[in-house]
Chain A
């Protein structure tokens, strides 16, 4: 019955796009499967009555260190119908990560603590921490029904009080949360969180906010979940373990004591100490709600997670999930090494850092290394995007140029995308602008994929001449207008996600020679790249726009509206997110128009919202705030190397920020065949 429902859904959103998409080249390989996933059973009649647990936990129960499984599971247990077969317990999921700056690698696996989630197609909401929700007719009130009897990984009950603790004690503390979450405002007016009963939370807004439930499921500051949003120095998400963290707040303990504790632990002040304590990547004592909990932190050679004995989900036979005992991530020096180890068969499921260009090598070694290669083409417009920083100030001349739309358009027209496609996407990606797949309801349509995104050096040269960059040196490079020196533009590339980003930038710098632009490619480590990105210190940043296939869930790579986005402009993003309190207002009327559209969309119903999204995309492409290169391909986490013995792995997963790849494939129900 659930399957039929999914069939109906298949005509909208990503699933619909999957059938309409013309990813022909990839499809012919037979490596692109069907978008699928396990069902979440909501019918109480089908809920198992007997529960079973993993042998390693049964042992602890016998030893008296753990209460029996019935007492650990919530009354409103989540029932997952495994994709193909009911599994067996045991095994270690081996993966690769590239160091302390690669926290997202683990965050994504720890995604069971989001309030809501998506179905495999990435469009329809599914229950997760909350078993359900409702939105009032006027759109001003969203009620969230949490699972009753939910427990933290240390056995303490998780209730509405944990949510109110976050809202009252953490969110309002400006030391911990310097900028409010824009998602908690409707049309610029802050909303409130209210406790209805022990397991019910309501969100009240002054203006209609029909978009809100989607944001609770997306990778947003309200939907990201505790692990994602209370790590790397952040204190967002909507709840926090009150029983563990409250005593570290000045409200409950004198600041002197807290400072002394922080000093003793090697931190300067209580805020730093608090952020360490709440960070699951570093502190194994912080309780979680996810399928696994951390037992060995990220700053070691092995980042290890172990099953959470209090995880809230079971399979249809009442076996507590997950099936897999441990997740073990091995440190690799760089993405290249991750690829190498994947080819050697050292990973059980790895999609992160897998380089599309190495597909022939992956395929060639399938039998020898006992894995299977899957391709999951994405729906985002560009796997690689150049983001000019609009508020770059270190060099006045270059900042001024980056703010000129003619300059950005000229750079966009100066790139030969077919060349990039051939060299790094095996000729099978789609060259063009940043817009999502044409089959998605938010796409402004095919002609916008070409807009300013073809290779037209002649027009690019005219545009550059028109803004006064007419003088050239004897090698044909244009000169700066202020001091007559050669104009040099930098592309900042983070050494992460894609192994070939540095080479892509190098190729672009070759193309730009033809329009007289000298380019320096700066390759840097991920955390340095981020630090500089947050300071608006990159001239042009190379990144992906994965996630923008759903504009409202992840707008940061379309518009500077998200203070943790890092690209385009952090100053504008701070201004947007704080409703004008901080940052500065963009002087560009087009940007202001796009901002107004984004604000208006929160109160719109789906159809109207989609129309607004189209409008935003048109402005973004016309202004070239992001210069799209090549996309609609499996380049970004869409090349999967999966152990032959791993079962219940979907034929295709939605490669999307809000699907939290690989969590969208539901790893809690994967198991190893014996």
Chain B
């Protein structure tokens, strides 16, 4: 290491150090971009959706993914062909044949269904769509489901709900974890014992049956929105235990550190010690733990909904989309409906790599 580099290293703030360290983990950096992309999708879900994700039309059920043709005789002119569904009288199979006479141009920023951008601005502009099609015609990039709903549009909206649930669940877990873990580590004694045994008790129960029990206890009369929040609660109910353990461990370790004792001797209040001295020194750990907890949350929601215990239609989440694919017709004749498994895998991997990189980086002197 050269002298200037060493000097920079010595002068760098913790954040800079963390960032330098993190940058060295290539996979984590790539994952960061994937995560950013997913959250962008979550923010602009309605804008990206080409058709109303709830709009059903039986005349376009089980359309296979449709490719966009970019060129025609006149040069660059992205388009899809109109489809004609024909049912075979013997096998009852509905097959779609492109109609070469009906060319539907695909354009950017077209008008479609109305939605509220950021929940505030009412608009009907969408990223792409077909121009001049009959009602119900569109470009079905990922095909349609049994009710003729556009899978691509549904996937966009599902991304938002699944990621938000993950985020909300983790926030709640974080709050519970830091609070209870902090109390446990700081005070020790019987409070510590009580909280630790509670954590052990919760962790010893197999999660799926526990979720099933809790989810089954949700009143059937609750609205979709209420269920949504209840599910988040249920998921984070388990999630906080891991975080609480980490926080407690850090508190126990730091309690004996010289700078804490020094602060105590200088007469700092307990609040000041905790928030000014202790918390910053393990905040990075918490962030890393959080980013590792997120994929677990997302998987939890997906599996609960997949089992029919989590969110329920008309809510759209990855789990709901996969649940729709849970039948023999799909496996035999519409395998594209299994697509939503891909983003689930991607985001889980991304979060894991990202969390991994963050954990390494969080301890830049290590």
**Which A residues are within 8 Å of any B CB, using their own CB?**
25, 28-30, 336, 339-340, 343, 357-361, 363-364, 418-423, 426-428, 488, 490, 499, 502-503, 506-507, 509-510, 513, 520-524, 528
B314 close to A357 (CB less than 8 A): no
- The minimal Cβ–Cβ distance linking A420 to chain B, given in whole angstroms, is 7
- The minimal Cβ–Cβ distance linking A363 to chain B, given in whole angstroms, is 5
A510 close to B89 (CB less than 8 A): no
4 further contact pairs, Cβ within 8 A, besides A361-B328, A426-B87, A513-B54: A423-B146, A423-B148, A499-B327, A503-B147
Say yes or no for B59: interface residue by CB 8 A criterion: yes
Contact with A along B108-136 (1 / 0, CB 8 A): 00000000000000000000000000000
Say yes or no for B332: interface residue by CB 8 A criterion: yes
Which residues does chain A contribute within 8 Å of B220, judged by CB atoms?
Answer: 522, 524, 528
Say yes or no for B193: interface residue by CB 8 A criterion: no
Q: How far is the CA of A490 from the CA of B327 in the complex (A)?
A: 25
A422 close to B61 (CB less than 8 A): yes
Q: How far is the CA of A419 from the CA of B90 in the complex (A)?
A: 21
* 16 residue pairs from A and B, CB less than 8 Å apart: A25-B89, A28-B89, A336-B327, A358-B328, A358-B329, A360-B93, A360-B329, A361-B332, A421-B58, A422-B59, A502-B313, A506-B56, A507-B147, A520-B224, A523-B308, A524-B220
Which residues does chain A contribute within 8 Å of B314, judged by CB atoms?
Answer: 506, 509, 521
Say yes or no for B270: interface residue by CB 8 A criterion: no
B313 close to A423 (CB less than 8 A): no
Q: How far is the CA of A510 from the CA of B56 in the complex (A)?
A: 7
Which residues does chain B contribute within 8 Å of A488, judged by CB atoms?
Answer: 223
A364 close to B58 (CB less than 8 A): no
Q: How far is the CA of A469 from the CA of B197 in the complex (A)?
A: 56
Q: How far is the CA of A427 from the CA of B57 in the complex (A)?
A: 13
- The minimal Cβ–Cβ distance linking A599 to chain B, given in whole angstroms, is 37
B55 close to A510 (CB less than 8 A): yes
- The minimal Cβ–Cβ distance linking A350 to chain B, given in whole angstroms, is 14
B328 close to A339 (CB less than 8 A): yes
A-B contact count (CB 8 A): 89
Which residues does chain A contribute within 8 Å of B91, judged by CB atoms?
Answer: 360, 363-364
- The minimal Cβ–Cβ distance linking A535 to chain B, given in whole angstroms, is 13
B76-98 contacts to A, CB under 8 A, are 87, 89-94
Say yes or no for B16: interface residue by CB 8 A criterion: no
Which residues does chain A contribute within 8 Å of B329, judged by CB atoms?
Answer: 357-358, 360-361
Q: How far is the CA of A520 from the CA of B224 in the complex (A)?
A: 8
Which residues does chain A contribute within 8 Å of B58, judged by CB atoms?
Answer: 418-423, 507
Using CB atoms, name the residue of chain B closest to A361.
Answer: B332
Nearest first, the 10 closest Cβ-Cβ pairs linking A and B are: A422-B58, A423-B58, A360-B93, A419-B58, A359-B92, A361-B332, A28-B89, A510-B56, A360-B92, A340-B328
Given contacts A363-B92, A506-B313, contact A520 B223 (CB under 8 A): yes
Total interface residues on B, CB under 8 Å, equals: 31
Which residues does chain B contribute within 8 Å of A25, judged by CB atoms?
Answer: 89
A343, A503, A510, A524: which contacts B146 (Cβ < 8 A)? Answer: A503
- The minimal Cβ–Cβ distance linking B307 to chain A, given in whole angstroms, is 10
Q: How far is the CA of A488 from the CA of B314 in the complex (A)?
A: 14
- The minimal Cβ–Cβ distance linking A658 to chain B, given in whole angstroms, is 29
- The minimal Cβ–Cβ distance linking B213 to chain A, given in whole angstroms, is 15
Using CB atoms, name the residue of chain B closest to A509.
Answer: B314
- The minimal Cβ–Cβ distance linking A361 to chain B, given in whole angstroms, is 5
- The minimal Cβ–Cβ distance linking B203 to chain A, given in whole angstroms, is 28
State the main secondary structure of chain B at its contact with A.
loop
B57, B147, B313, B333: which contacts A360 (Cβ < 8 A)? Answer: B333
Q: How far is the CA of A422 from the CA of B327 in the complex (A)?
A: 18
Using CB atoms, name the residue of chain A closest to B148.
Answer: A423
Which residues does chain A contribute within 8 Å of B223, judged by CB atoms?
Answer: 488, 520
A336 close to B326 (CB less than 8 A): yes
Using CB atoms, name the residue of chain B closest to A395.
Answer: B221
- The minimal Cβ–Cβ distance linking A532 to chain B, given in whole angstroms, is 9
Q: How far is the CA of A510 from the CA of B224 in the complex (A)?
A: 15
Say yes or no for B312: interface residue by CB 8 A criterion: yes
Q: How far is the CA of A360 from the CA of B86 in the complex (A)?
A: 13
Q: How far is the CA of A340 from the CA of B327 in the complex (A)?
A: 8
B333 close to A361 (CB less than 8 A): yes
Using CB atoms, name the residue of chain A closest to B145.
Answer: A503
- The minimal Cβ–Cβ distance linking B96 to chain A, given in whole angstroms, is 13
- The minimal Cβ–Cβ distance linking B339 to chain A, given in whole angstroms, is 19
Using CB atoms, name the residue of chain B closest to A506.
Answer: B313
B92, B148, B221, B308: which contacts A426 (Cβ < 8 A)? Answer: B92
Contact with A along B341-366 (1 / 0, CB 8 A): 00000000000000000000000000
B90 close to A29 (CB less than 8 A): yes
Using CB atoms, name the residue of chain A closest to B55.
Answer: A510
- The minimal Cβ–Cβ distance linking B219 to chain A, given in whole angstroms, is 10
B61 close to A30 (CB less than 8 A): no
B147 close to A423 (CB less than 8 A): yes
Q: How far is the CA of A359 from the CA of B221 in the complex (A)?
A: 34
Using CB atoms, name the residue of chain B closest to A360.
Answer: B93
Using CB atoms, name the residue of chain B closest to A507.
Answer: B56
Q: How far is the CA of A363 from the CA of B90 in the complex (A)?
A: 9
- The minimal Cβ–Cβ distance linking A251 to chain B, given in whole angstroms, is 42
Which residues does chain A contribute within 8 Å of B327, judged by CB atoms?
Answer: 336, 339-340, 358, 499
Which residues does chain B contribute within 8 Å of A357, judged by CB atoms?
Answer: 146, 329
Which residues does chain B contribute within 8 Å of A520, judged by CB atoms?
Answer: 223-224
- The minimal Cβ–Cβ distance linking B312 to chain A, given in whole angstroms, is 7
- The minimal Cβ–Cβ distance linking A487 to chain B, given in whole angstroms, is 13
Which residues does chain A contribute within 8 Å of B87, judged by CB atoms?
Answer: 426-427
Which residues does chain B contribute within 8 Å of A423, judged by CB atoms?
Answer: 56, 58, 61, 146-148
Which residues does chain A contribute within 8 Å of B57, judged by CB atoms?
Answer: 419
Contact with A along B170-188 (1 / 0, CB 8 A): 0000000000000000000
Q: How far is the CA of A421 from the CA of B87 in the complex (A)?
A: 13
Which residues does chain A contribute within 8 Å of B328, judged by CB atoms?
Answer: 336, 339-340, 343, 358, 361
- The minimal Cβ–Cβ distance linking A411 to chain B, given in whole angstroms, is 17
Which residues does chain B contribute within 8 Å of A503, judged by CB atoms?
Answer: 146-147
- The minimal Cβ–Cβ distance linking B135 to chain A, given in whole angstroms, is 13
- The minimal Cβ–Cβ distance linking B333 to chain A, given in whole angstroms, is 7
Q: How far is the CA of A439 from the CA of B314 in the complex (A)?
A: 40
Contact with A along B239-279 (1 / 0, CB 8 A): 00000000000000000000000000000000000000000
A30, A339, A422, A427: which contacts B90 (Cβ < 8 A)? Answer: A30
- The minimal Cβ–Cβ distance linking B325 to chain A, given in whole angstroms, is 11
B296-330 contacts to A, CB under 8 A, are 308, 312-314, 326-329
A521 close to B148 (CB less than 8 A): no
Which residues does chain B contribute within 8 Å of A522, judged by CB atoms?
Answer: 220-221
- The minimal Cβ–Cβ distance linking A445 to chain B, given in whole angstroms, is 28
B47-72 contacts to A, CB under 8 A, are 54-59, 61
Which residues does chain B contribute within 8 Å of A339, judged by CB atoms?
Answer: 327-328
- The minimal Cβ–Cβ distance linking B202 to chain A, given in whole angstroms, is 28
- The minimal Cβ–Cβ distance linking A235 to chain B, given in whole angstroms, is 31
- The minimal Cβ–Cβ distance linking B84 to chain A, given in whole angstroms, is 14
Q: How far is the CA of A162 from the CA of B332 in the complex (A)?
A: 53
B139-192 contacts to A, CB under 8 A, are 146-148
- The minimal Cβ–Cβ distance linking A289 to chain B, given in whole angstroms, is 38
Which residues does chain B contribute within 8 Å of A513, judged by CB atoms?
Answer: 54
- The minimal Cβ–Cβ distance linking A281 to chain B, given in whole angstroms, is 25
A29 close to B55 (CB less than 8 A): no
Which residues does chain A contribute within 8 Å of B333, judged by CB atoms?
Answer: 360-361
Using CB atoms, name the residue of chain B closest to A357.
Answer: B329
Q: How far is the CA of A29 from the CA of B329 in the complex (A)?
A: 19
Using CB atoms, name the residue of chain B closest to A363.
Answer: B91
Using CB atoms, name the residue of chain A closest to B222.
Answer: A520
Max chain A Cβ within 10 angstroms of own Cβ: one of B58, B92, B328, B333: B92
Q: How far is the CA of A422 from the CA of B308 in the complex (A)?
A: 26
Which residues does chain B contribute within 8 Å of A427, judged by CB atoms?
Answer: 87
Q: How far is the CA of A339 from the CA of B58 in the complex (A)?
A: 22
Using CB atoms, name the residue of chain B closest to A532.
Answer: B220
Using CB atoms, name the residue of chain A closest to B52.
Answer: A510
Q: How far is the CA of A528 from the CA of B328 in the complex (A)?
A: 26
A419 close to B56 (CB less than 8 A): yes
- The minimal Cβ–Cβ distance linking A99 to chain B, given in whole angstroms, is 15
